[in-house]
Amino acid sequence: MGGEKLLNTLVYIINKALYNLMGDTSKTISRVSSKYLMDYLISQKITESRKDKIKEDELKKIVIEELGLCDDYRFYEDGGYIVLEIINPVIKESLIQLKKENIPVVLSPDKILMYMLCKMYGYKATKPCVEYDEESNKVIWRCKKL
């Protein structure tokens, strides 16, 4: 099984299990996980930045080149929403399947990235939802801005 298939399988299994075990309270896991991602990146020498000092260009390089999660991403404000577009994402099949089964995404590298970027720019966001745009091959996360 290739790395991409393995990652999609794990994202699907973990999300389905967490949601079935914890229900709606499981949704806070990605927000909490984003706090631990920097610890891991530092421990693995993927970054030398301190927790609160990483800049978006370095984070983008890590996401694209080191972790290989996508070809690019765009993060921007759109009215009352914060949007993260993941371009040519590795994780898409699991998100599509979870959506078909009406299971919210509890834990995903994309969702963790969304929370990290929100914190970096001082946004408070809630109710993240995800969709996949097959035509442009983008996973689009949209959070309501508080």
Q: What is the CA radius of gyration of the chain?
A: 15
**Cβ atoms < 10 Å from Cβ of 76:** 10
What type of residue sits at position 34? S
Please state, in angstroms and rounded to a whole number, the distance separating the CA atoms of residues 89 and 69: 6
Residue 92 · residue 142 · CB < 8 Å: no
* pLDDT band (50, 70, 90) for residue 31: confident
Q: Is 79 helix (H, G, I), strand (E, B) or coil?
A: coil
> Mind listing the pLDDT tens digit for each residue in 118-136?
988 999 878 888 999 999 9
Please state, in angstroms and rounded to a whole number, the distance separating the CA atoms of residues 132 and 85: 10
Report the CATH number that the domain containing residue 130 is assigned in CATH: 3.30.1380
Residue range(s) defining the domain that contains residue 69: 3-145
pLDDT of residue 53: 78
Please tell me the total count of domains within the chain: 1
Please give the mean pLDDT across all residues of the chain.
90
